[in-house]
Amino acid sequence: MTLSDADRDLVVAELGRDPTPAEEILFENLWSEHCAYRSSRPLLSAFDSEGDQVVIGPGDDAAVVALDDDTYITLGIESHNHPSYVDPYDGAATGVGGIVRDTLSMGAYPIALADCLYFGDFDREHSRYLLDGVVEGIADYGNAIGVPTVTGSTSFHENYEGNPLVNVACVGLLSADRLVTAEAQKAGNKLVLVGSSTGRDGLGGASFASEDLAEDAETEDRPAVQVGDPYTEKLLIECNEALIDEDLVESARDLGAAGLGGASSELVAKGGFGAEIDLEKVHQREPNMNAFEILLSESQERMCYEVTPENVERVQELAARFDLGSAVIGEVAEGNYVCTFDGEPVVDVPPEFLAEGAPMNDLDSVEPESAARDLPAFDLSEAFEAVVSDPNTASKRWVYRQYDHEVGLRTARRPGDDAALLDVPEADTKLAFTGGADPNWTTAAPYDGARAVAFENATNLAAKGASPLATVDCLNGGNPEKPDVYGGFKGIVDGLADMCRALSVPVVGGNVSLYNDSVSGPIPPTPTLAMVGKADGSSPGLSLSGEGDLFLVGHSGGALGGSAVLEHAGGSDAFPALPEDADAATAVETIQAVAADDATVAVHDVSHGGLAVALAEMVTDEVGADVSVDDYVSLFEETPGRVVVETTDEAALRDLVGDVPVVELGTTTDDATLSVAVDGDEAAYDAADIADLRDVLARELD
């Protein structure tokens, strides 16, 4: 990728001269889609990002949200899609490292990760190869740095075959007095680089992430993929804590996309300053590196700190204590962003123009059409078994068993439930954490599918007794220059924005990843969310207790569009009708109240795979269920915002739900068997049979 003629003309007009080679490649990367959001920024104003709980919203390395007056969390999400296709292990591992460093740069300690992964069809050998490498990379890096991976999602869809997605979110914890931002504070302060030495790995990673993947990407683009070292990252985490403890950091930015050039220029531009940087001061691990290699290298485990002159010595002492390299590479200054190499200026540009001057794209879009209803004839046993054993709805234990999800001693509810729960005694609360998207939903209907993604994530939190607090998004799309692709992307942005606004959940930050396109075609529009909530009361699990009766709470959408059952049985249908905004908000509030009720002994959301999968996940080796529904749409529709509730007090449940629909499903049993009746058809499966159906990932991959 090179700087386009139009962009180069803008640079020449601003500088009054031709750019130097280092300037040209710096503009190429910082004005790329990955860094400048040229096709998406015009759409992002649709999001509401404010709220009393929001301390720092979009624009910094991570968002900051208050749990109380003294306790904050950070929340961020990033994509590492192209690198994870070229090198699944290192691509995924360094995705974890990057989002953790975003957390550090705000002064926070990372306490939890979520991974949301999307691959081609599960039956393809290449998809399994990518899945295996990505999961191993996340596990090895996260486990080594001591940050638990507690929630997430894993999805399969044929259109990810040539371009998988790896979206990783991180939650951090800090007290209010430890907050740091990525905004330079004062001219004359020093810029100190701390962490690993700089090499040639990851060169041009930002521009690489802004291109469609070519057929030979797995070999030709390998130099653009970073190589991580989790043990150095762990030292960097602890060193960062020590620096914050001693109040030695004025501002900070991690070295991610566009490396030192991106981090340092954005840091000073955000504060309204320039910089004077000597690139030869950067500690390097390879000989004869030139100016643009030092500027654009995305070598991992590096931070750029703004430090007052009197604190520089102490910062370097602490770096040495943790066996980390450090170098004073320059200082915050008035005027331009200036970098010298071999005694000569190689970059001398206005920092705000570099960081914010990229022109936005004005692209054509085409909205997709809704499908008509053409339902197949269903066979109950065949449909049930196909949906429950579908890799998209089956157990993901093979994935999360490889993660250390209890390190740090905060994990109160482990992966496998609707949401993870983390103990936060500092604020006398629990933090609920969930994440994911459904490509089948947003393929069927980008706008309503994205509304459903937001609705489902909020329902996951409410089902564990939590009130949604804030969310971040990772907006993944194909080549936006294709009108149908851009139409789908616009749909997911507007859908997320409208539902999050309806639920009063501010979108406090995020990431955009476009040009996820390959010879296999564009990916589905994929709006990954990572959402957090506060759980101050009780938190029921999803497993049946055998003490109560079963009810379905929530609005039915009455359609099978985007469902797993149609993927197997064929046919078509419109996407389920979601409740109006006010009704959706009421449903989430009601589900939270039901989950907190003393008579509620189990709650589980109904979404992927519908009621059939929800019930299959709730039965245990001791407790079964006897359930009856009116028709196949009721059993397999995937309308979110609904939960199965086991309660010992039906009257109390009906009092709580008010105008939210509630349907009696049946009762629990002591025979460990799920019996389902649908319009005269019946099927029964014991817990062992269900477990075998749901264990498809482990069975095929071990």
Identity of the residue numbered 288 = N
Predicted confidence band of residue 537 (pLDDT cuts 50, 70, 90): confident
How many angstroms separate the CA atoms of 417 and 297, rounded? 40
Q: Is 226 annotated for ligand binding?
A: yes
How many angstroms separate the CA atoms of 14 and 356, rounded? 13
By DSSP bridging, strand 662-669 and strand 642-647 are: unpaired
More confident residue, 117 or 35: 117
Tokens 């020449």 identify what position? 12
Predicted confidence band of residue 692 (pLDDT cuts 50, 70, 90): very high
Surface-to-core class of residue 292, CB atoms within 10 Å of its CB (0-12 exposed, 13-18 middle, 19+ buried): buried
Surface-to-core class of residue 19, CB atoms within 10 Å of its CB (0-12 exposed, 13-18 middle, 19+ buried): buried
Q: Is 228 annotated for ligand binding?
A: no
How many angstroms separate the CA atoms of 591 and 222, rounded? 48
Q: Is 330 annotated for ligand binding?
A: no
Tokens 């319009």 identify what position? 679
Beta carbons of 198 and 282 less than 8 angstroms apart: yes
More confident residue, 257 or 581: 581
What is the model's pLDDT at position 223? 58
How many angstroms separate the CA atoms of 237 and 147, rounded? 10
How many other CB atoms are found less than 10 A from the CB of residue 253? Answer: 29
Question: From start to end of 259-336, where are the E strands?
Answer: 274-278, 302-307, 325-333
Predicted confidence band of residue 243 (pLDDT cuts 50, 70, 90): very high
Beta carbons of 433 and 389 less than 8 angstroms apart: no
Helix 21-30 and helix 5-15, axial crossing angle in degrees, nearest 10: 120
Among 4-13, 101-110, 376-385, 511-520, the minimum mean pLDDT is found in: 511-520
- SS3 state of residue 276: strand
For domain 371-394+540-701, the CATH architecture is Alpha-Beta Complex (3.90)
How many other CB atoms are found less than 10 A from the CB of residue 467? Answer: 18
What is the tens place of the pLDDT at every residue in 485-508? 999 999 999 999 999 999 999 999
What is the model's pLDDT at position 221? 44
What is the model's pLDDT at position 214? 52
What is the model's pLDDT at position 368? 87
Q: Please, what CATH class does the domain formed by 43-357 belong to? A: alpha beta
What is the model's pLDDT at position 406? 83
Predicted confidence band of residue 379 (pLDDT cuts 50, 70, 90): very high
Tokens 């498809």 identify what position? 696
What is the model's pLDDT at position 408? 80
- Has residue 262 got a pLDDT over 90? yes
Residues 616-642: what's their mean pLDDT?
97
Residues 166-187: what's their mean pLDDT?
97
Q: Is 80 annotated for ligand binding?
A: yes
Q: Is 624 annotated for ligand binding?
A: no
Residues of the chain with CATH 3.90.650.10: 43-357, 371-394+540-701
Helix 446-463 and helix 581-596, axial crossing angle in degrees, nearest 10: 20
What is the model's pLDDT at position 494? 98
What is the tens place of the pLDDT at every residue in 104-114? 999 999 999 99
Residues 15-39: what's their mean pLDDT?
93
- Has residue 644 got a pLDDT over 70? yes
What is the tens place of the pLDDT at every residue in 133-157? 999 999 999 999 999 999 999 999 9
CB neighbour list of residue 216: distance below 8 Å, 6 or more residues apart: none
What is the tens place of the pLDDT at every residue in 248-259? 999 999 998 889
How many other CB atoms are found less than 10 A from the CB of residue 188? Answer: 11
What is the tens place of the pLDDT at every residue in 441-470? 999 999 999 999 999 999 999 999 999 999
Q: Which residues of 365-379 are buried (b: 16+ CB within 10 A; e: fewer)?
A: beebeebeeebeebe
**Inter-CA distances, 351 with 25, 30, 237, 265, 278, Å:** 15, 11, 29, 6, 16
Instruction: Report the share of the chain in percent with pLDDT over 90.
Output: 90
What is the tens place of the pLDDT at every residue in 38-94? 999 999 999 999 999 999 999 999 999 999 999 999 999 999 998 899 899 999 999
Predicted confidence band of residue 222 (pLDDT cuts 50, 70, 90): very low
Q: What is the mean pLDDT of the chain?
A: 94
Query: Nearest CA to 76 among 206, 256, 244, 215?
Result: 256
Q: Is 597 annotated for ligand binding?
A: no
How many angstroms separate the CA atoms of 24 and 20, rounded? 6
- Has residue 220 got a pLDDT over 90? no
Q: Is 102 annotated for ligand binding?
A: yes
The enclosing H or E element of 64 equals strand 63-66
Residues 644-655: what's their mean pLDDT?
97
What is the tens place of the pLDDT at every residue in 322-377? 999 999 999 999 999 999 999 999 999 999 999 999 999 999 999 888 899 999 99
CB neighbour list of residue 10: distance below 8 Å, 6 or more residues apart: 357, 359
Q: Which residues of 659-686 are buried (b: 16+ CB within 10 A; e: fewer)?
A: ebebeebbebbebbbbbbbbeeeebebb
The enclosing H or E element of 77 equals strand 71-79
What DSSP letter does each residue of 489-529 carry, written as one string? HHHHHHHHHHHHHHTT--EEEEEEE---EETTEEPPPEEEE
Q: Is 32 annotated for ligand binding?
A: no
What is the model's pLDDT at position 218? 52
Active-site annotation, residues: 34, 80
Predicted confidence band of residue 116 (pLDDT cuts 50, 70, 90): very high
Tokens 């995705």 identify what position? 95
Query: Nearest CA to 429 among 536, 533, 532, 531?
Result: 536
By DSSP bridging, strand 526-535 and strand 467-476 are: antiparallel
What is the tens place of the pLDDT at every residue in 181-219? 999 999 999 999 999 999 988 775 554 444 555 555 555
